[in-house]
Amino acid sequence: MGEPAQPAPRSNGDRSPWNWLLIVPIVVPLIPVLYNVIEPKLFGFPLFYWLQLAFIALGVATTTLVYQMTKRRSAPAAPSAAKGGES
Amino acid sequence: MWTNIHVTELVVFAVLFLAVSGLGFVAARWRRPATMEHLDEWGLGGRNFGSWITWFLIGGDLYTAYTFVAVPALIFGAGAMGFFAVPYTVIIYPMVFLVLVRLWSVSHKHGLVTPADFVRARFGSPTLALLVAITGIVATMPYIALQLVGIEAVLKTIGLTGDSTIARHLPIIIAFAILAAYTYQSGLRAPALIAFVKDALIYIVILAAIFILPSKLGGWDSIFGAAQAKFDATKANPNDGLLLNANNQLQYITLAFGSALALFLYPHSITGVLASKNRGVLKRNMSALPAYSLLLGLLALLGYAAIAAKVTPLPGTKTPDTNTVVPLLFQGQFPAWFAGVAFAAIGIGALVPAAIMSIAAANLFTRNIYREYLNKQATPAQEARVSKITSLVVKAGALLCIILLDPQFSIDLQLIGGVVILQTLPSVAIGLFTRWFHKGALIAGWVAGMGFGMWMLYNVSSATRPHFASSAFPLEKLGFDTKMTIYAGLVAVVTNVVVAALGTLILRAAKVADGPDRTAEPDYLVDENEPRGSLTPTEAAVA
């Protein structure tokens, strides 16, 4: 997406290198080659279905981790660490 | 007037529905404010909801009854493609994790109630704010109407249907009148309180279905087997099946991504977000809300269970009404009382989002049209009163949509609604991070994205429908030599951003005056204990 970058404000704010982790659960579910197959099945579910349901756990784990690690604002962050998720 | 009514189902449905409605009226006393005559109270429930209430409220808000009916229906009809709802609702939370807290902070700081309020403060352009407000209202109206489609699917299955308009629509008119009354009285507190009951019912029903149905239908293996057999038999439609094919994978991921971009731009989602108490509540909910995604994913698979159970959808106006497959599945596989509980869950599940959506649309009208153009000196009490009345008008409008127009029209509008609301992305979502765009360029981008989006949707045809058949735009219409399709909304919003960026460069070069920015970077970082109010910007606490 053509999102023009803006010079980083002086405040540390929400910035943290941990935020980059958020990209993982955004990108992984958008790669169909990872899951567009039937075998191996799990409890009778084709992989297409059980793996995508498992991505929910990936998302929860990531957001929980990032929240816990960035809870205290004082954590030092690289000044150019940009936002993790684009929206 | 009505024949073949399933009495037990109807009684259970009606009792639960009425009990919940009572709760809606009582809600005005819940966490009682000093006065209801303020939008922060009526429209945002006091801006003070903690983690649990927010979880139920936003969960009930985003995962609507229509979703719970339509996603399995899509799986029932098309297979794997319908499962896009799962990646969509997985990626959304990490995507908005850093965005919503900024929106919350700036809204807390400046007392903003709607997304258009934010645009007004950020870009200093009443015109752009008006566009965002109108976009929000237009996208929300059919969404409310769709909730009625969800209730109607249930009522139809119970047997409350007939040939005359009155027979078909009387129950829904009554249901909506009750909803309108308690929303008018209790504001956002009503859906927040009802959401507890609704979600408890939904969780019970779905977990029971997931564990009991497979054993009745020979296990998941044979359920998927039956689905495979059905899709193999329909050679006419090459895009159905248990897996995606080469041509619809791009559509699958762009639809998931585009829908995720759109979801938190909807005014009703933002209402739920702004009603929360602090930033921590929102961040914790980004980890808790996916519980609903799991529910939705499992529910989606009931579409296959319906295939295995040989469900035949009830007739619709022209084609079979596939929205009835899940209600019919419950009716066929479970005792009548349990089917009644399931139907109540769907019916009540429609009321929560319908209430929040009407409140959100009403707030947009009040803040960005009434106060901006009709009564600049409006007091908080006047604002609350205008919002309450507008919420009634909005619901009446949605009701008329359903009664007077083919329900298919609402579904089409909803499809358009996603593309429409996405056009507010540059000013609202990107605007939260950067003030780089020029207000005039954002308006130009909106026009370009909207125009191109509508053109694409208009040109999507199917075997049965010449226009607006779906959001899957064939790339060959743009001259590409491929059978692949792509989500029209995503293409439209990319167009929007590109035009806005180019326009900004041009307007800056031409030195055209831009609007003032009433917000400052520290405003986007404040939390609950920071002072409110934008009158004294020097107060802005640096986080």
Domain layout of chain B by residue ranges:
7-30+37-410
Confidence (pLDDT) at B491: 92
Instruction: Give whole-number Cα distances, B23 to B77, B183, B275, B341, in Å.
Output: 37, 11, 20, 17
The mean pLDDT of A60-76, rounded to a whole number, is 77
pTM exceeding 0.80: yes
Confidence (pLDDT) at B540: 37
Contact B77, A68 (CB under 8 A): no
Closest alpha carbon to B301 in B209, B172, B218: B209
Distance CA B393, CA B375 (A): 19
Distance CA B210, CA B334 (A): 12
B484 Cβ contact partners less than 8 Å away, ≥ 6 residues apart: B246, B247, B248, B249, B250, B251, B474, B475
Confidence (pLDDT) at A26: 92
B196 Cβ contact partners less than 8 Å away, ≥ 6 residues apart: B56
Judging by DSSP bridges, how do beta strands B472-474 and B485-487 pair with one another?
antiparallel
Q: Are A4 and B501 inside 8 Å of each other by CB? A: yes
Q: Which runs of consecutive H residues, i.e. helices, occur in B241-367? A: 249-263, 267-274, 279-288, 290-308, 325-333, 336-365
Confidence (pLDDT) at B43: 82
H/E segment holding residue B268: helix B267-274
Degrees to nearest 5, angle at CA B531 with B57 and B370 = 60
Single-letter code of the amino acid located at B171: P
Closest alpha carbon to B112 in B40, B35, B49: B40
**In total, how many domains does chain A have?**
1
Confidence (pLDDT) at B2: 57
Token pair of B269 as six digits: 């989602």
Distance CA B347, CA B383 (A): 31
Distance CA B190, CA B118 (A): 26
- From chain A, the residues in CB contact with B87 under 8 A are 29-30, 52, 55
| Residue listed under structure tokens 């060959």 | B476
- From chain B, the residues in CB contact with A67 under 8 A are 283-284, 286-287
How many other C-beta atoms are found inside a 10 Å radius of the C-beta of residue B234?
12
Contact B304, B224 (CB under 8 A): yes
The burial class, CB within 10 Å (0-12 / 13-18 / 19+), for B204 is middle
Best A51, A56, A58, A71 residue to mutate vs chain B (most B CBs within 10 Å) = A56
Token pair of B432 as six digits: 């939260």
Nearest residue in chain B measured CA to CA from A64: B287
**pLDDT category of residue A8 using cuts at 50, 70 and 90:** very low
Q: Are B498 and A41 inside 8 Å of each other by CB? A: no
Q: Are A30 and B494 inside 8 Å of each other by CB? A: no
Whether the bond between B516 and the residue before it is cis, its omega within 30 degrees of 0, is no
B123 Cβ contact partners less than 8 Å away, ≥ 6 residues apart: B129, B427, B431, B435, B437, B439, B442, B514, B515, B517
Q: What percent of chain A is modeled with pLDDT above 90?
A: 32
Token pair of B411 as six digits: 């579904």
Degrees to nearest 5, angle at CA B305 with B299 and B310 = 140
CA distance B75 to chain A (A): 12
- From chain B, the residues in CB contact with A87 under 8 A are 95-96, 99, 261, 264, 425, 429
Q: Are B86 and A19 inside 8 Å of each other by CB? A: no
Single-letter code of the amino acid located at A50: W
Confidence (pLDDT) at B22: 84
Q: Count of CB contacts below 8 A, A vs B?
A: 148
Q: Is A3 left (phi over 0), alpha (psi -120 to 50) or beta?
A: beta
User: What single DSSP character describes residue B525?
Assistant: G
Partner residue facing A85 (CB), from B95, B219, B524: B95
H/E segment holding residue B15: helix B7-26
Nearest residue in chain A measured CA to CA from B291: A56
CA distance B203 to chain A (A): 17
**Which domain range does residue A44 map to?**
33-71
Q: Are A49 and B83 inside 8 Å of each other by CB? A: yes
Confidence (pLDDT) at B160: 75
Helix (H, G, I), strand (E, B) or coil at B200: helix
Contact B78, B234 (CB under 8 A): no
Report, as ranges of residue numbers, the positions in chain B whose pLDDT lies below 70.
Answer: 1-3, 162-165, 235-238, 316-318, 407-408, 410, 531-543
Interchain contact B215–A (C-beta under 8 A)? no
> Across-strand partners of B79?
B241
Q: Are B242 and A38 inside 8 Å of each other by CB? A: yes
Q: How far apart are the two ends of chain B, measured CA to CA in Å?
A: 65
Nearest residue in chain B measured CA to CA from A21: B94
CA distance B506 to chain A (A): 15
User: What single DSSP character describes residue B314?
Assistant: E
B306-361 pLDDT per residue, tens: 888 888 888 766 677 778 888 888 888 888 888 888 888 888 888 888 889 999 99
On whether residue A62 sits in a domain, the answer given is: yes
How many other C-beta atoms are found inside a 10 Å radius of the C-beta of residue B215?
8
- From chain A, the residues in CB contact with B79 under 8 A are none
Q: Are B86 and A85 inside 8 Å of each other by CB? A: no
Partner residue facing B86 (CB), from A52, A67, A83: A52
Q: Are A1 and B522 inside 8 Å of each other by CB? A: no
Best B89, B91, B213, B294 residue to mutate vs chain A (most A CBs within 10 Å) = B91
Q: Are A6 and B287 inside 8 Å of each other by CB? A: no
**SS3 sequence of B357-384:** HHHHHHHHHHHHHHHHHHCCCCCHHHHH
Confidence (pLDDT) at B430: 93
On whether residue A43 sits in a domain, the answer given is: yes
Range 462-481 of B in CB contact (< 8 A) with A: none
Whether the bond between A40 and the residue before it is cis, its omega within 30 degrees of 0, is yes
On whether residue A26 sits in a domain, the answer given is: no
- From chain B, the residues in CB contact with A24 under 8 A are 94
Distance CA B443, CA B426 (A): 10
Confidence (pLDDT) at B162: 65
Range 496-515 of B in CB contact (< 8 A) with A: 497-498, 501
**pLDDT category of residue A60 using cuts at 50, 70 and 90:** very high
Name the superfamily (CATH) of residues B7-30+37-410: Sodium/glucose cotransporter (1.20.1730.10)
